[in-house]
Amino acid sequence: MKVGISRTHPAIIAEASSWFIEFRAGDVDGDARARFIEWLRRSPEHIHAYLEIAGVWAELPTSDPQGKIDVEALIARARGEPDVIALSPDRPRSAPVASAGKHTLWLGSRRRTAVALAAVVLLAVAAVVFLGRDRFGGSYATGIGEQRTVQLADGSTVELNARSTIQVHLTEHQRDVTLLEGQALFRVAKDKLRPFVVRAGDAQVRAVGTEFDVYKKQTATVVTVVEGRVETYDESDSPGTAAIVLSAGEQLTVLPHTVTKPTRTDTAVATAWVQKRLIFEETPLSDVAEEFNRYNRRPLTIDDSELERLRISGVYSSTDPASLINFLRSQNSIQVVETEKQVRVLRREAR
């Protein structure tokens, strides 16, 4: 799926614009280039945004109407550039980086333009490689605080929450997705001949056309159906075990060798992460910390086992850690100590 500016987050567009301006200025040093590499690695959407800003993404399909450009030669030349990072078969999120070396694919009268266009062309070649591989499968992952949408070849979409990883395998007879870690919201395209199966820990979810959320926590997997119906299995059970059918608005938890009964739930709460909100309703602080740590590089640690069971309620921003930290500071029984590496939650000593 082509991701244009209209479908890209404004913050990503702003970052891409800033990088493009720096490359046009022609004064990108080694440290800046390393930061550019890291920025590209985070998500393919960053590649798309950069190409959109440069005006090349939309022009590439029409710039060679007679097919005279040797794509293989371009790819070979791009791979030969010293700053290009190869696309690993196991990490489709990895992206090549712009090169400001003396060998540019497009030559201009000005050094500034040459540097910028060299960066764009190498990214464009990378996009061709990236979009052309693993059409029917692959691995997709997000980092801390990163969310992304994955469009599958069958028309289904997967919203990946922060710190999440999936493996996709689509064939003519089946559609299999494994949630290795984290959380994902699946919107499944209808295909009665190819059920859509998601595996996460001990849970297996089978659907034809529906929308459901799967959250693989440290000790359990939570399945929530937003629309339609799904069949849920405990993979540790013996073959032939009957499936549990979940309908819209229902949720269950799969523990090792145990599956809870379906219960009614507020699906808006379960999927609030899509709107970058954290909603807790009498949630143990240990679970709150697990959720908080998906979005923040300074993890929330709890130094008291009794505090781990403290119940927390409220609505907080996943992009603003201070919203939760300030709430914890306001609690009489809690002391919060912030360092550069972590946010420690301690029991407040009685005075």
> Do 145 and 122 belong together in one domain?
no
Q: What is the DSSP string of 186-218?
A: EEPPP-TTS-EEEEETTEEEEESS-EEEEEE-S
**Together in a domain, 70 and 102:** yes
261 and 316 inside one domain = no
Quick one: 128 and 141 in the same domain? no
Asked if residue 121 and residue 18 are part of one domain, the reply reads: yes
**Same domain flag for 280 and 201:** no
Same domain for 206 and 186: yes
Q: Cβ contacts of residue 117 below 8 Å, gap of 6+?
A: 54, 104, 105, 106, 108
Tell me, what CATH number does 250's domain have? 2.60.120.1440
Say what the pLDDT of residue 245 is: 92
Domain boundary pick from 210, 235, 268? 268
Alpha-helical runs (H) found in the chain: 10-25, 30-42, 44-54, 71-80, 111-132, 267-270, 285-292, 305-308, 322-329
Residues 154 and 113 in one domain: no
Domain shared by 112 and 155, yes or no: no
pLDDT on residue 198: 96
Q: Could you give the number of structural domains in the chain?
A: 3
Query: What does the pLDDT read at residue 138?
Result: 82
* Of 300, 298, 284, nearest in space to 346 by CA: 300
The CATH number for 326's domain is 3.55.50.30
pLDDT at 87: 40
pLDDT at 173: 85
Residue 150, classed as helix, strand or coil, is strand
- Identify whether residues 62 and 180 lie together within a single domain: no
| Predicted local confidence at residue 182, as pLDDT | 95
Alpha-carbon distance of 117 to 99, in angstroms, equals: 10
Q: Are residues 125 and 238 in the same domain?
A: no
Domain that holds residue 214: 137-268
Among residues 132, 159, 181, the one where a domain terminates is 132
- Residue 124 and residue 36 share a domain: yes
Residue numbers in the chain where pLDDT is lower than 70: 1-11, 24-28, 41-45, 54-137, 236-241, 350-351
Chosen domain end from 92, 117, 132: 132
